[in-house]
Amino acid sequence: MRQKTDTPSEQLSVIGRRKFINTAALAGLTVGVAACTDKPAGPAAAASPASAAGHGSSNGVHLKPGELDTYYGLWSGGHTGDMRVLGMPSGREIHRIPCFVPDALVGWGVTNESKAVMGTKPDGSLRYTVADTHHTHASYKDGNYDGRYAWINDKINSRLARIRLDYFICDKITQLPNVQGFHGIFPDKRDPVDPAINYTTRVFCGAEFAVPLPNNAGIEDGSKYRSLFTCVDAETMEVRWQVLIDGNCDLTATSFDGKLAATNQYNVEMGVKYEDMMSAERDACLFFNIARIEEAVKAGKFKTIGSSKVPVVDGTHEGNKDPKTALTAYVSVPKNPHGVNASPDQKYFICAGKLSPTATVIELAKVLDWFDGKLEKLDNAIVAEVEIGLGPLHTAFDGRGNAYTTLFLDSQVVKWNVEAAIKFHAGDKTAKYVVDRLDVHYQPGHINASQSETIAADGKYLAVGCKFSKDRFLPVGPLHPENEQLIDISGDKMVLLADHPVRGEPHDFIIFKRDLVKPKQVYSLDDFPLAVKDAKDSGVFRNGKKVTVKITSQAPAFSLREFKLRKGDEVTLILTNLDKIEDLTHGFAIPNYNVNFIVNPLETKSVTFIADQPGVFWCYCTHFCHALHLEMRTRMIVEA
């Protein structure tokens, strides 16, 4: 049975929260869920102030003017299709990095450079203008973040975006072939083929939705639908290989030695209706032997699907019965798990049950033993399967042997000790593995701690994303914000420090020390082939109907006071910001032409449009830059 760690008064304080939970959440999720609760339903609890545990304004959450945060947080933006940059522990949003969806501030999706990254149709329009960003992770070296890259996925259109952390910009987007519902991602932490390569070389991607392969035949027969696990090259962003699997993929994890990647599976039944997806009592955590897969691809033991040239190897049950040659290993876990996470001691992957009140601890060394033929049963790699609460989803770590798992139905975070859970599972029923529980508000999903899935996990702060805010903030109509909560985990007891309303719907995030990334404050002109390096090079250059306008900005003026075009011209306007001062950004807008973008110090951008409207159009700086900002204009004159 689940361990009881709450006092009677603590149980009474959460009575009303259960009423909300039971009506709002259980209605949709209790089909097939094992009943496991030791708390009655009753009136709602007030939030415990942080000061109740001695945490007040001195806890570092509320920074004084001029104080800097000690951590960066990278958050998914959800339906806004971007990545959000937060300062932690303040929770202040510092920046948004547009990726998959147009952004009016920076001109993402307007400039030629951003369109080249996003992808366009033959007519030059954007291929996609919607997205659903879910998971964000960063590149590693020696088991810790190295400040080079971060990645984020678009679940809707199966795209992976890479963020350069020197400039905090998206520089590449790749669309995965043959898959839908691209959900989980995780970079490897070193290259297993060459032990000397101790940094990220690949990003692994899981496909949640099974489809016909290729997706143009047998579209009615769901039993023929299949899913693929994908590997993308971290540097080129090209798809390296895919693995055909039984079941689907959900989230993804990688081992610190670079030998294993994994995905949890919640639909081994391969159902196409939700009741079919939860009929089995156990699903799986699927492991991939990276080196063997790459050897198979190198040896030509693959096929391709449709028009795609990507190598696809066989990772099905049928094709991997012999452990000594197997590419994949399916470890049985309960039920409809949501999340698989790597512990910072490099020993374990943890799957949370979602529709089972359990967490499963899998020892990676034993999975490798199975691949080597040294472990008779793959299930023996499971070293703990313990009850922790209702609706367990995601897990974070403090580097001190403790795991923190969100309980969606209980609206709690549970802190539990991994080694104690292993002892309990082995038969020591005196081992008290549940250390603490904390009520959060409400229905928590993703969770992460400072440096959580690195060898440098420091156990200072924990963030949890709550899907319902209900009574936490001023009402703003039917659409409520979500509630990101910050928790102090430096002591034995978790302490709630802060609530932050956020626009929906963010998903995953990571938190890392600020000194691990060294962002540049000013661009280099040499980064841009089209840069106009001297204002003297400005002008209008005509080649028939095609016209190039070269212009520079330097506060408080554009290099061209006016420029003339003819109706029907195809115009490419190139703008370089020659200001070298940090934070001196200029904008450029053209009325009635749907053009607005910014250029940061020493940055160059270009736009292409048809001069189809005759008249005078005042192009002006849209980003405040100087005392004469309002006077910073140029005339575009289009002659009929």
* pLDDT, greater one: 450 or 15: 450
* CATH superfamily of this structure's domain 1-92+392-520: YVTN repeat-like/Quinoprotein amine dehydrogenase (2.130.10.10)
Note the pLDDT of residue 195: 75
Q: Does residue 27 register a pLDDT over 60?
A: no
Position 524 scores a pLDDT of 96
Contacts of 258 (CB under 8 A, 6+ apart): 188, 189, 190, 191, 192, 290
pLDDT at 45: 39
Tens of pLDDT along 539-578?
999 999 999 999 999 999 999 999 999 999 999 999 999 9
What percent of the chain lies above the pLDDT cut of 90?
87
**Each residue's pLDDT tens digit, 73-83:** 999 999 999 99
Domain range summary for the chain, segments of one domain joined by +:
1-92+392-520, 215-225+232-390, 525-639
The reply to whether the predicted model has a pTM over 0.75 is yes
* Residues in CB range of 201: below 8 A, 6 or more apart: 188, 191, 233, 234, 235
Q: Which of 21, 12, 20, 1 is nearest to 40 (CA)?
A: 12
Confidence at residue 306, expressed as pLDDT on a 0 to 100 scale? 93
pLDDT of the residue at 22: 45
| Chosen CATH of 215-225+232-390 out of 3.40.640.10, 3.50.50.60, 2.130.10.10, 1.10.1270.20 | 2.130.10.10
**Res. 361 pLDDT band, cuts 50 70 90:** very high
| pLDDT at residue number 216 | 87
Neighbouring residues of 639: CB distance < 8 A, sequence distance ≥ 6: 564, 565, 566, 567, 614
Tens of pLDDT, residue by residue over 284-297, are 999 999 999 999 99
Q: Of 164, 165, 137, which Cα lies nearest the Cα of 151?
A: 137
For residue 505 the two structure tokens come to 């719907």
The predicted model gives 204-233 an average pLDDT of: 93
Residue 63 has pLDDT above 80, yes or no: yes
What is the pLDDT at residue 193?
Answer: 77
Mean pLDDT of the 362-381 span: 97
The DSSP bridge pattern shows strands 570-577 and 546-554 to be parallel
Which pair of tokens denotes residue 275? 């009741």
The values of phi and psi at residue 66, to 5°, are 95, -15
Spatial CA neighbour of 323 closest among 380, 281, 282: 380
Architecture of the CATH domain 525-639: Sandwich (2.60)
Q: What is the pLDDT of residue 60?
A: 67
Q: Alpha-carbon distance 557 to 632, whole Å? A: 5
Is 50 exceeded by the pLDDT of residue 32?
no
Tokens of 29: 């999720």
Specify whether the CB–CB gap between 593 and 519 falls below 8 A: no
The pLDDT of residue 504 is 84
Mean pLDDT of 519-523: 96
Sheet containing 180-187, strands listed edge to edge, beginning at the edge strand earlier in sequence: 180-187, 202-209, 227-233, 239-245, 312-314
- The enclosing H or E element of 56 equals none
Cis ω on the peptide bond leading into residue 235 (within 30° of 0)?
A: no
Which pLDDT score is estimated for 59? 61
Mean confidence (pLDDT) of the chain: 91
Give the pairing of strands 328-334 and 159-164: unpaired
DSSP 8-state symbol, 584: -
Task: Compute the C-alpha angle 407/25/336, nearest 5°.
Answer: 60
**CA 573 to CA 558: how far, in whole Å?**
13
23 pLDDT more than 60: no
Q: What is the C-alpha separation between 485 and 306, in angstroms, rounded?
A: 46
Q: What angle do CA 552, 557, 560 make, to 5 degrees?
A: 55
Looking at per-residue pLDDT, the higher value among 151 and 224 belongs to 151
| Token couple for 344 | 């910072």
Q: Do domains 215-225+232-390 and 525-639 have the same CATH topology?
A: no
Q: What percent of the chain is modeled with pLDDT above 70? A: 91
| pLDDT tens, position by position, 292-340 | 999 999 999 999 999 999 999 999 999 999 999 999 999 999 999 999 9
| Strand order across the beta sheet in which 509-513 lies | 92-98, 82-88, 71-76, 509-513
